[in-house]
């Protein structure tokens, strides 16, 4: 396949330009050939007569044919004429084929300035936020309607599907939730003891652990874990169903995809979140107690009696009340994003990422709103 | 048009199976340079398995496969890559990269294998797209925005990106309406003639077997039971081949092939 010598030799005499091609005019030598072809074009302006002898060309494919065509087109554009000789019959067909293509200029891509496009992307971002909120509200409404419809005829509820989801979302999540919250509880206790020790107020580390975990951290950590673990899988599942037109198939058979697929999933999250939050809080308190014993030298009896004084049922209730709402937010966001998946693999990835990011963001916003609410009712 | 008659794909004694089941059982097949070879067979007979084994996507248990004179087992990585540049594959569903535009899809093999200027790549990719019947406006679209026929055409343009010597087509006309399928057949024929391609085509479409294939190989019971031009198929005594070509739908062809065969010099 190696080219022997030059692919294109040029001779310029009294306004006559004689070119001779040789070797392989194929894809493998296209780059070299292109530079040779481009180098010839300045001569073309001076030449009156151009002839190209292709007799020496051994291999010829569409790349070679196009470059030859490009060369001759330049002269035709200048009003000159190029004569091609020595091209075998078979290759002549190929050249004719190539002379038909690229006649129309490619549609110019609209170009905008950097400032305009930056402004446009800001605008798109803002409208995107508005559209997201509308999508979520829409999904929330659809789930509400489906829930009411199912309540009127409970037999239609997908019980099997719900149990299956409950197994995946709640039961199978228990080990990882236990581990993470146990570690978080331990870390908070260690930090509390370490810093309160300076004031000799180590005992208050127990207050810190108890209140922080029951009110805020327990439910937040669990919500973030569930959003990352189950929310993403909801989006990916529904998204790939969208890609394979399974959801359209359901709809044409007279089923409401919200009722069949989404309602059981969201309902399961409503149940799973409080359960996991409770388990998580207990594991965190246990972790805190263990660190208090090992690191702070605080006996379990002292830890528990201090905990009894520090926390009340209110703290526990504040944490637990938030859990189902967070589950709802995660479910609505995950399912809404899943239904936005388009045909490509890339869009599935994008929506899954968006689902996790948006649900964690909304969970934290919701937590803030709850904090304001509980503060104003004095809980 | 018929090429020089050299064998470009040679399959000998090929055995392929999954677990307990043998899909291909000591199969042998030759494909000559410049011909369009159609492979037919019932659903699940192993047509696609044969194609995927030849291009190295599936492992084989026994036998040798030589493509363009290179034995795939003995070729090292560099040799394999060089060989893979000399063939193009059109997958059944197109298998276009969904995150790239049609133009970028066609440019992908060029970008990875050749060092070309962006201008030449743009021109070549547009040229290939025009050759398969797409327009410059389609080039900026993403695969998800294409119809079934356009997807096949774009995928064919990508398969042809590097001017391969052999093109493997996996059910190129499946899922197309008869008019588009006919157009696609004509397109394959035209491209084969202008580019001097060898085409290895797996198909179910009797119409394309009849109109474009130079030779047909019938696959049944894990081996090739008949190979030759359409007239050979119609004379074959193998029960599956008889049912296929003389059946309700195939029977229509018998009437059409016979007079043409007698007219032929």
Provide CB contacts within 8 A for B139, sequence distance 6+.
A106, B101, B102, B103, B125, B126, B129
What span, in angstroms and rounded, lies between the C-alpha atoms of B154 and B137? 13
Residues of A with CB under 8 A from a CB of B: 26-28, 30-31, 34, 61-63, 66-67, 70, 90, 93-94, 97-98, 100-102, 104-107, 109, 342-347
Sheet holding B223-228, edge to edge: B87-90, B166-170, B198-202, B36-41, B215-220, B223-228
Q: In the predicted model, is pLDDT for residue A93 greater than 50?
A: yes
Distance CA A206, CA A318 (A): 18
Is B110 exposed, middle or buried (CB count within 10 Å of its CB: 0-12, 13-18, 19+)? buried
Tell me the backbone φ, ψ of residue A279, rounded to 5 degrees. -60, -45
pLDDT at A322 over 80: yes
CB atoms < 10 A from the CB of B149, how many?
A: 19
Query: Nearest to residue B32, comparing CAs of B63, B1, B64, B76?
Result: B1
pLDDT, tens digit, for every residue of A329-345? Answer: 999 999 999 999 987 77
Q: What is the mean pLDDT of residues A225-237?
A: 95
pTM equals: 0.67
Which of A102, A120, A103, A123 is CA-nearest to residue A111? A120
Tokens of A172: 């199978």
Q: Which of A60-64, A222-226, B110-114, B248-252 shows the lowest mean pLDDT across its residues?
A: B248-252
Contact B124 A62 (CB under 8 A): yes
- CATH assignment of A8-99, among 3.90.230.10, 3.30.750.24, 3.40.50.920, 3.30.300.30: 3.30.750.24
- Yes or no, beta carbons of A109 and B140 under 8 Å apart: yes
| Distance in Å from the first CA to the final CA of chain B | 17
Helix (H, G, I), strand (E, B) or coil at B30: strand
User: Does residue A29 carry a pLDDT above 50?
Assistant: yes
- Which two structure tokens, joined as six digits, stand for A188? 């908070």
- Contact flag B127-A101 (C-beta cutoff 8 Å): yes
Higher pLDDT, A68 or A369: A369
CA atoms within 13 A on the CB side of B82: 11
Residue ranges per structural domain of chain A: 8-99, 138-376
Per-residue pLDDT tens digits for A42-85: 766 667 777 788 777 777 888 888 888 887 877 777 777 777 77
Three-state secondary structure call for residue A90:
helix
Which segments of chain B are extended strands (E)? 7-18, 21-32, 36-41, 62-67, 70-71, 87-90, 166-170, 198-202, 215-220, 223-228
**Range among A120-134, B50-64, B149-163 rated most confident:** A120-134
Give the pLDDT confidence of B187-219 residue by residue, as tens digits. 888 888 878 888 898 888 777 788 888 888 888
Q: What are phi and psi of A104, to 5 degrees?
A: -85, 140
Cross-chain Cβ contact B194/A94 below 8 Å: yes
- Is B225 within 8 Å of B28 (Cβ atoms)? no
In residues, how long is chain B?
265
Packing angle between helix A204-211 and helix A263-294, nearest 10 degrees? 170
What is the bridge-based pairing of β-strands B198-202 and B166-170? parallel
Mean pLDDT of chain A: 87
| CA-CA-CA-CA dihedral for B106, B112, B117, B123, to nearest 10 | -10
pLDDT of residue B86: 83
User: B147: phi > 0 → left, psi -120 to 50 → alpha, else beta; which?
Assistant: beta
For A125, list phi and psi in degrees, rounded to 5.
-60, -45
CA nearest B219: which of B202, B232, B235, B206? Answer: B202
- Enter the tokens of residue B54: 């030849």
Mean pLDDT of A348-374: 95
| 3-state secondary structure at position A373 | helix
**Residue A210 DSSP SS3:** helix
Spatial separation of the C-alpha atoms in residues A283 and A304, rounded to whole Å: 14
Alpha carbon of A286: minimum distance to chain B alpha carbons (Å): 48
Strand stretches in chain A, DSSP E: 8-13, 16-25, 49-60, 82-85
* Residue of higher predicted confidence among A247 and A112: A247
The answer to whether A62 contacts B122, with C-beta atoms less than 8 Å apart, is no
Q: At what angle do helices A263-294 and A218-226 cross, to 10 degrees?
A: 130
pLDDT at B214: 85
The model's confidence at residue B43, banded by pLDDT at 50, 70 and 90, is: confident
Q: CB contacts < 8 Å between A and B, how many?
A: 76
pLDDT at A223 over 80: yes
The H or E element containing residue A242 is: helix A232-243
A27 closest CB neighbour out of B114, B117, B126: B114
Residue A124 C-alpha, separation from nearest chain B C-alpha, in angstroms: 21
pLDDT-wise least confident of A229-243, A294-308, B159-173: B159-173
Tokens of B184: 């696609």
User: Quick one: tokens of A122?
Assistant: 């800001």
Q: How far is A152 from chain B (nearest CA, A)?
A: 40
- Using the beta-carbon criterion (under 8 Å), do A30 and B120 form an inter-chain contact? yes
Q: How far is CA A354 from CA A136, A143, A264, A341, A348, in A?
A: 13, 20, 22, 11, 10
Distance CA A115, CA A100 (A): 40
Q: Tell me the C-alpha distance between A219 and A231, whole Å.
A: 16
Q: Residue-wise over A62-99: b if at least 16 C-beta within 10 A, else e?
A: bbbbbbbbbbbebbeeeebebebeebeeebebbbebbb
Residue B8 tokens read as: 């470009």
pLDDT value at residue B5: 60
Average pLDDT over residues A177-181: 96
């Amino acid at each position: 396949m190696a080219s022997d010598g030059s692919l294109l030799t040029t001779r310029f005499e009294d306004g006559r330009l004689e070119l001779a091609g040789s070797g392989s005019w194929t894809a493998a030598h296209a780059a070299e050939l292109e530079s040779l072809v481009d180098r010839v074009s300045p001569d073309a302006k001076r030449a009156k007569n151009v002839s190209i002898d292709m007799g020496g060309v051994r291999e010829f494919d569409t790349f070679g044919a196009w470059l030859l065509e490009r060369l001759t087109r330049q002269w035709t554009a200048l009003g000159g004429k190029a004569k091609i000789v020595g091209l075998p019959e078979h290759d002549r067909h190929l050249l004719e084929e190539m002379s038909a293509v690229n006649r129309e200029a490619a549609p110019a891509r609209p170009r905008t300035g950097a400032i305009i496009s930056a402004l446009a992307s800001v605008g798109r971002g803002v409208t995107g936020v508005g559209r997201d909120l509308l999508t979520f509200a829409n999904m929330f409404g659809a789930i509400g309607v489906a829930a009411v419809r199912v309540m009127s005829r409970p037999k239609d509820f997908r019980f099997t599907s719900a149990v299956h989801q409950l197994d995946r979302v709640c039961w199978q999540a228990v080990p990882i939730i236990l581990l993470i919250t146990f570690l978080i509880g331990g870390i908070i206790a260690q930090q509390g003891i370490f810093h309160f020790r300076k004031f000799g107020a180590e005992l208050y580390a127990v207050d810190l652990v108890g209140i922080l975990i029951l009110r805020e951290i327990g439910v937040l950590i669990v919500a973030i874990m569930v959003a990352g673990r189950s929310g993403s899988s909801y989006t990916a599942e529904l998204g790939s169903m969208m890609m394979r037109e399974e959801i359209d198939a359901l709809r044409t058979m007279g089923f409401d995809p919200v009722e069949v697929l989404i309602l059981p999933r969201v309902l399961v999250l409503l149940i799973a979140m409080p359960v996991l939050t409770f388990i998580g809080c207990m594991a965190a308190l246990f972790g805190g107690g263990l660190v208090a014993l090992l690191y702070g030298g605080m006996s379990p009896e002292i830890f528990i009696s201090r905990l009894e004084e520090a926390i009340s049922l209110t703290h526990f209730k504040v944490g637990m009340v938030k859990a189902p709402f967070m589950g709802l937010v995660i479910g609505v966001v995950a399912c809404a994003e899943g239904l936005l998946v388009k045909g490509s693999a890339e869009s599935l990835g994008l929506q899954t990422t968006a689902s996790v990011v948006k649900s964690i963001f909304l969970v934290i916003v919701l937590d803030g709103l709850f904090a304001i609410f509980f503060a104003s009712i004095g809980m | 048009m018929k090429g020089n008659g050299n064998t470009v794909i040679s399959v000998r004694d090929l055995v392929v199976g999954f677990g307990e089941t043998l899909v291909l059982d000591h199969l042998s097949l030759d494909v000559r340079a410049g011909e369009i070879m159609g492979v037919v067979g019932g659903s699940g007979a192993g047509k696609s398995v044969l194609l995927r084994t030849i291009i190295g996507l599936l492992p084989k248990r026994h036998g040798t496969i030589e493509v363009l004179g290179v034995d795939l087992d003995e070729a090292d990585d560099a040799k394999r890559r060089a060989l893979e540049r000399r063939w193009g594959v059109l997958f059944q569903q197109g298998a276009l990269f969904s995150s790239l535009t049609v133009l970028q899809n066609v440019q992908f093999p060029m970008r990875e294998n050749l060092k070309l200027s962006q201008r030449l790549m743009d021109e070549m990719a547009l040229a290939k797209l025009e050759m398969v019947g797409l327009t410059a406006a389609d080039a900026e679209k993403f695969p998800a925005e294409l119809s079934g026929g356009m997807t096949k055409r774009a995928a064919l343009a990508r398969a042809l990106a590097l001017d391969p010597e052999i093109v493997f087509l996996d059910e190129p006309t499946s899922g197309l309406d008869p008019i588009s399928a006919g157009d696609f057949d004509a397109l394959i024929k035209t491209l084969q003639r202008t580019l001097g391609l060898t085409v290895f085509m797996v198909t179910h479409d009797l119409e394309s077997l009849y109109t474009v294939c130079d030779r047909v190989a019938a696959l049944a019971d894990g081996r090739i039971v008949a190979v030759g031009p359409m007239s050979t198929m119609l004379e074959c005594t193998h029960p599956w081949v008889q049912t296929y070509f003389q059946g309700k739908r195939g029977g229509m062809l018998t009437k059409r092939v016979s007079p043409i065969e007698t007219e032929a010099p």
